[in-house]
Amino acid sequence: MSDIELAQWLYEGALALSEGRREEARRLLMQVIERDEQNEQAWLWLSGAVEDPADQQIALENVLAINPNNAAALAGLEWLRGEHGQHTAATTPQDRSGPWVPPPPYDENEVVEIMCWQCQATLYSVAPFCWQCNVPVHSCNNCAFRDDPRCKPLQGLTNPLAWAAVNECPWWRPAPLR
């Protein structure tokens, strides 16, 4: 994969988003991110291509993980918090202030219909990757405990970039359809 191809995908993704073609923009920007997780601009554009405020926040936090001084990402997070308040993942519900108590074992053979955190495609919990955008199904972003910050440090998942990757967390549970 050449830098020229990545730059082309980034340009086409930004153009698609500017023209209102969100699905195409998401697909192109995710192709960039899958090959270069540290691409600050791809994460920033992706924050505008996803519709769910929690997904927007994750993308913006990924920008800030790469560059803590990115003014657009800081302004975007500020706007999200003002617009959606407690609905964003950065706020911790009060019932989650105690120590993490692991849930009972989950039957990995149980098939549950879930929604992909990235493209909102309907998938099954036993699939390794989303059939539409190819992101991992078994990741923090598709977990029922996605918004709970207490379990992630226990698994060494302290960077928001790691939340989108495949992980072997024993507490992973399929997130319900939104």
Q: Helix-strand-coil percent breakdown of the chain, rounded to 5? A: 45, 5, 45
pLDDT of residue 131: 87
Query: Do 115 and 72 reside in the same domain of the chain?
Result: no
Query: Do 68 and 114 reside in the same domain of the chain?
Result: no
Query: Do 150 and 169 reside in the same domain of the chain?
Result: yes
Alpha helices by DSSP H, 50-70: 53-66
**Contact at 8 Å (CB) between 50 and 26?**
yes
Q: Where among 41, 63, 87 does a domain terminate? A: 87
pLDDT of residue 102: 75
pLDDT of residue 132: 86
Output the CA torsion sign for 27, 30, 36, 42. positive
Highest mean pLDDT among 1-5, 25-29, 167-171: 25-29
Query: Do 101 and 177 reside in the same domain of the chain?
Result: yes
- HSE (CB half, 13 Å, CA atoms) of 94? 0
Give per-residue pLDDT as tens, 82-135: 877 644 444 333 355 677 777 777 777 788 888 887 788 888 888 888 888 888
pLDDT of residue 94: 37
Query: Do 124 and 82 reside in the same domain of the chain?
Result: no
Angle at which helix 53-66 crosses helix 40-49, to 10 degrees, equals 170
Tokens of 56: 């927007």
Query: Do 65 and 16 reside in the same domain of the chain?
Result: yes
CATH number for the domain spanning 23: value is 1.25.40.10
Q: Where among 36, 53, 87 does a domain terminate? A: 87
pLDDT of residue 92: 34
Of residues 116 and 12, the one with the higher pLDDT is 12
| Cα–Cα distance measured from residue 135 to residue 129, given in angstroms and rounded to the nearest whole number | 5
Average pLDDT over residues 143-149: 80
Q: What is the total count of domains within the chain?
A: 2
Query: Do 113 and 175 reside in the same domain of the chain?
Result: yes
Q: Where among 64, 87, 110 does a domain terminate? A: 87
Average pLDDT over residues 158-169: 78
pLDDT of residue 2: 82
Average pLDDT over residues 129-143: 86
The whole domain housing 104 covers: 95-178
pLDDT of residue 11: 93
Give per-residue pLDDT as tens, 29-88: 999 999 998 899 999 999 999 988 888 899 998 888 888 888 888 888 888 888 776 444
